[in-house]
Amino acid sequence: MPSKPDPAAAPPPETVAADWVEDYLRLHPDFLVQQPGLIDVLSPPQRDMGDNVHDWQAHLIQRLRDDAATVHDEQYNLVERTRRERSLQDRIHAAALAMIGAVDLDHLVEITTSDLAILLGVDVVTLAVETQCSDGQARVTCGVRCVVQGTVDAMMEDDRDVVLRAPAHADEELFKGASSLVLSEVIVRFGGHDGLPLGLLALGSRHEDHFQPGDPVNLYRFLGNVLERCLRKKLGLPH
Per-residue pLDDT of the chain (239 residues; tens, 9 = 90+): 445 555 555 555 556 788 888 888 888 878 777 877 776 666 666 555 555 555 656 667 777 777 777 887 788 777 777 788 899 999 999 999 999 999 999 999 999 999 999 999 999 999 999 987 545 555 556 678 888 888 898 888 777 899 999 888 888 888 888 889 999 999 999 999 999 999 999 999 999 989 988 888 999 999 999 999 999 999 998 87
Residue 14: what pLDDT? Answer: 56
In a domain, residue 151? The reply is yes
Question: What is the CATH number for 96?
Answer: 3.30.450.40
Helix (H) or strand (E) holding 124: strand 124-131
In a domain, residue 49? The reply is no
Residue 104: what pLDDT? Answer: 94
In a domain, residue 219? The reply is yes
Pairing of strands 124-131, 139-141: unpaired
Total tally of structural domains belonging to the chain: 1
Tell me the whole-structure pTM to 2 decimals: 0.67
CA 208, 213, 214, 220 torsion-angle sign: positive
In a domain, residue 62? The reply is no
Q: How far is it, in rounded angstroms, from Cα 191 to Cα 225?
A: 9
Angle at 234 between CA 231 and CA 235, to 5 degrees: 80
In a domain, residue 228? The reply is yes
In a domain, residue 193? The reply is yes
Is residue 150 within 8 A of residue 131, CB to CB? The reply is no
Domain containing 186 equals 75-235
Determine the length of the chain. Answer: 239
